[in-house]
Amino acid sequence: MTRNAVWIRDRVGAVLVPLAVACTDAGQAGGVQEPVDLSNVPAFSADSAHAFLRMQVEFGPRVPGTDAHRAQLEWMQEHLRQHADTVIRQDFRHDVGQATLDFANLFARFRPNAAERVLLVAHWDTRQPIPGANDGASGTAVLLHLAEILSREPPPIGVDLLLVDGEDYGPYESNMYLGAKHFAANMPAGYAPLYGILLDMIGDQDPQFTIEGYSRSYAPEVVERVWRMAEQLGHGGVFVRRSGISISDDHVPLNKAGIRTIDVIDFDYGPGNRYWHTLDDDVERTSPRGLGAVGEVVTALIYRGG
């Protein structure tokens, strides 16, 4: 494994510290992992997150311009308003060719005045007529449950949850990643989180997260931070230190806007990825396992100060 030194700004004392970043294919990280103090880290419930996944699917396909899309938006907005310090709804319109449709991002902020903060992202829309249990509902489910945790246990840093719309409208890229593009062009003044993590398709029954190519190129130090935490928590078999393909996704416009963001994504949903963008993307083909692993990792990162 080739390793390069990458410098990031340490949260405490503003000291620059080196991180070793995996840049090519590698097996499981060797050596003894340093102990992790989890005494101040709240428990993340995989089953609670999976229940949020199921609730979303019950709305039906959340395609922009449909009743199901509008109903889930109102439900999520109410849930976040019950838990977050601030919820900002970003409404926007986009011409998809046959029509001009309404879209909306939800930006939920915890400790909004904290200078040091992290950004967690998921898309909540689906493609017609796909149930979207994994592709759409899984990442959103983790963030909705995490909002409950952040409400009960105030985090030591600021946390922003961004639920973006219009990621999957398609079929061409000009009609995709719309919410992320809109947020990137309309961020709060001076917005500069330490880093961002996009959660997409994390609900597979046999989850395995390899290192997505654009994430490795744009933000290798964030990859190292996340994969190292996963290994320390015993999730090295799920967060695999192997290079995966490059995926155009919501993290690309965020990186172009200056937010160093990685994509935690499972590239293989069902045998030969055959469930992706089909009617087989339903609740029965998902599992709490990946939601729990990802949820535990991001929760530990937050409550250990980023």
**CATH class of the structural domain 30-207+250-303:** alpha beta
Question: What would the two tokens of residue 176 be?
Answer: 């995709």
Calpha distance 134→286 (Å, rounded): 7
What string of pLDDT tens digits covers the 306 residues of the chain?
222 333 332 322 222 233 333 343 433 444 456 678 898 999 999 999 999 999 999 999 999 999 999 999 999 999 999 999 999 999 999 999 999 999 999 999 999 999 999 999 999 999 999 999 999 999 999 999 999 999 999 999 999 999 999 999 999 999 999 999 999 999 999 999 999 999 999 999 999 999 999 999 999 999 999 999 999 999 999 999 999 999 999 999 999 999 999 999 998 999 999 999 999 999 999 999 999 999 999 999 999 998
pLDDT at 33: 63
Question: What would the two tokens of residue 272 be?
Answer: 């030969």
Instruction: Reduce the DSSP state of residue 300 to 3 states and report it.
Output: helix
pLDDT at 108: 99
pLDDT at 23: 40
Question: What are the CA-CA distances from residue 163 to residues 41, 199, 237, 247, 270 (Å)?
Answer: 24, 10, 28, 19, 25
Q: What is the DSSP letter of 116?
A: S
For residue 171, whether the previous peptide bond is cis, meaning omega lies within 30 degrees of 0, is: yes
Helix axes 137-152, 67-83, angle to 10 degrees: 20
Give phi and psi for 86, each to the nearest 5.
-140, 135
